[in-house]
């Protein structure tokens, strides 16, 4: 569905801020429509992108545990969970695809990297996926969402599990 990020021309202009060019992330799998809930994480761990391609990815393990505890998935392996997750209308993307080190750069470099990658890809992904809801997994994805859609209406602090809305192509989408 989405392009192979390893051919992304935007990351060439972001190498001075720490971007990998080409990014090492593998292409995302096809999504199943409708996307009921889109999870937006930080940046993919090396090599090849974490959630969709590495069985011992922490985010994958945490979501798998939550889904099993809630009775939303009976999958017993990471591969089976990914497929169950995707086929039930859930999807996961990274806010920044071209940075795979654990410590995201602070200050101006991090801001330039986040703005450049999010505006090059994240906005397009969200518009194409048309999720019914978005779950940002931390401050970095929240900031990326703001770069993509301007002002993100906030009723309370996101990091406390609060909700708000973002206008995606004229449609108010709960975040």
> Per-residue DSSP letters for 46-103?
TTTTGGGT-TT-HHHHHHHHHHHHTTS----SHHHHHHHHHHTTEEEEES-SS--SSS
pLDDT digits (tens, 9 = 90+) for 56-111: 888 999 999 999 999 999 999 999 999 999 999 999 999 888 887 777 788 888 88
More confident residue, 96 or 150: 96
More confident residue, 83 or 157: 83
Q: How confident is the model at residue 2 (pLDDT cuts 50, 70, 90)?
A: low
pLDDT reading at 14 higher than 90: no
Average pLDDT, the chain: 84
Most distant pair of Cα atoms in the chain: their distance = 45
Q: What pLDDT score was predicted for residue 40?
A: 94
Q: What pLDDT score was predicted for residue 109?
A: 84
How far apart (Å, rounded) are the C-alpha atoms in residues 38 and 89?
9
Q: What pLDDT score was predicted for residue 156?
A: 47
pLDDT above 90 coverage of the chain, percent: 34
In this structure, what DSSP letter does residue 148 have? H
Min mean pLDDT across 41-45, 56-60, 122-126 is at: 41-45
Nearby residues of 22 by Cβ (< 8 Å), 6 or more positions away = 5, 6, 7, 8, 11
């Amino acid at each position: 569905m989405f392009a192979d990020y390893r051919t992304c021309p935007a990351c060439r202009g972001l190498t001075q801020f720490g971007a990998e060019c080409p990014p090492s992330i593998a292409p995302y799998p096809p999504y199943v429509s409708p996307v009921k809930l889109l999870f937006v994480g930080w940046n993919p761990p090396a090599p090849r992108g974490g959630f969709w391609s590495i069985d011992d990815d922490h985010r994958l393990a945490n979501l798998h545990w939550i889904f099993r505890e809630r009775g939303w998935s009976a999958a017993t392996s990471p591969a089976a969970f990914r497929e169950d997750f995707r086929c039930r209308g859930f999807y996961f993307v990274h806010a920044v695809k071209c940075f795979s080190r654990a410590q995201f750069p602070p200050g101006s470099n991090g801001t330039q990297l986040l703005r450049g990658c999010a505006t090059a890809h994240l906005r397009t992904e969200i518009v194409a996926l048309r999720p019914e809801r978005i779950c940002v997994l931390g401050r970095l994805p929240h900031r990326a969402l703001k770069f993509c859609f301007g002002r993100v209406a906030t009723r309370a602090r996101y990091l406390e599990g609060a909700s708000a809305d973002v206008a995606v192509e004229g449609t108010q989408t709960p975040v």
